[in-house]
Structure 1
């Protein structure tokens, strides 16, 4: 995806998190059971924040793993909603949102202001990759941006549905990369036939082809 499109996606997410409806429902439960609207808003805008934070860190000279290997290794991908890894994510986001919407949005705005310059200069990173400290491995910078874009697109829909507003549209190239990623993860979990049928022959499709 174009870096400008990624920045646009992050801005769209921030605008949604800044909406009157999200602020009004900040303490209510979101569409992600067990997570408040505020916690979900924080998790959404933090995708830009995490991108800035990791791009500002020195890259580690280790071979980056492939994008799909990242999702094969990550513990949360196949964990249940009440498994520790997902509970920790929800509780951490809710705790961070406890400072209130104005603080969360201010941090998101600051990250968004830094993002274009960091992406423009990414080619100066040697090697041009990002280490994900909470996972313990590196991805190429382009693959890392796809992971953040997926989080933005998916959780924007979660947040919009939580407060009864329309899910925003994102740049076409961002959505194309996200759908390609979700499809590839779904194929790994459910097989090619299941996904082909879900997209073309719903009468023969299995009940679940979710990527996560």
Structure 2
């Protein structure tokens, strides 16, 4: 099992535990910490980072060219899109639709999926995978897991904050991989000097270096 597979599965376990927290049910229909998202919709989006895996693994290996993570994030439409752009609106709808199952059904479905992935993923070769909404490209399985891992880690924090509870402790390898990816994206958006100063020089750090 690759390091990224282990990190992904461990982060998915944390996400499932969070989905089972009673504070979520109490705030399910309330606004979340993210604009235009309900708590239930954000929970649904978090769960989709698990549901995507069997969906791509059940498909035949794609024939589209495999690209790397930097090229992937240069191509995805949501990363530079506005809040109400169709790309982001579609993502929100997917989360809200999943959240409409209700907290118990969503948490149980996510738990069952992670349990199955713990058996399936370690046996999978690092083959190409692809989502239908992408353009003419695919990712390696490890790179796809890296993208889903980042979503799990970031949205676990978002969802815990939205529910008014402490963010659960995430596994070190999962956080390290996520911070590494976010740093690459921050460099792309803000440039070397801004990121270096933000990380090393409080006296001349920029106001922000968010990756998105």
Give TM-score scaled by structure 2 length. 0.93
The 5-angstrom pairing of residues 39-78 of structure 1 reads 39-78=41-80
Structure 1 contact 56–118 (Cα < 8 Å) conserved: no
Preserved CA contact (<8 Å) 1:150 1:178: yes
What is the match of residue 201 of structure 2?
201
- Return structure 1 stretches of 4+ with deviation > 2 angstroms: 1-5
Mapped contact 1:44–1:155 kept (Cα < 8 A) = yes
Measure, in 2, the Cα distance between the counterparts of 1:146 and 1:94: 24
Deviation at 1:56, TM superposition (A): 2.1
- Cα deviation, 1:32-91, whole Å, max 9, x if unaligned, reads 111110111111111111112212222113321111111110000011222221122112
CA drift of 1:2 comes to 4.3
- Consecutive unaligned residues in structure 1, runs of 5 or more: none
The SS at the match of 2:130 is: strand
Between the aligned partners of 1:206 and 1:12, the Cα distance in structure 2 is 32
CA distance, structure 2, for counterparts of residue 5 and residue 88 of structure 1: 28
Q: What RMSD, in angstroms, separates the aligned Cα atoms of the two structures?
A: 1.4
1:94 is displaced (CA, Å) by 1.3
Note the alpha carbon deviations across 1:158-182, whole angstroms, 9 max, x for none: 0011011111122211111111110
Q: Which runs of 5+ in 2 are unaligned?
A: none
Comparing 18-27 with 4-13, greater Cα deviation is found at 4-13
Q: Deviations over 1:130-178 (max 9, x none)?
A: 1122213211111111000000000001001101111112221111111
Q: Tell which deviates more after alignment, 153-162 or 105-114.
A: 105-114
Match of 2:121 in 1: 119
Contact 2:48-2:95 within 8 A present in 1 as well:
no
Q: How does 1:83-94 map to 2 (within 5 A)?
A: 83-94=85-96
Instruction: Give aligned pairs, total.
Output: 209
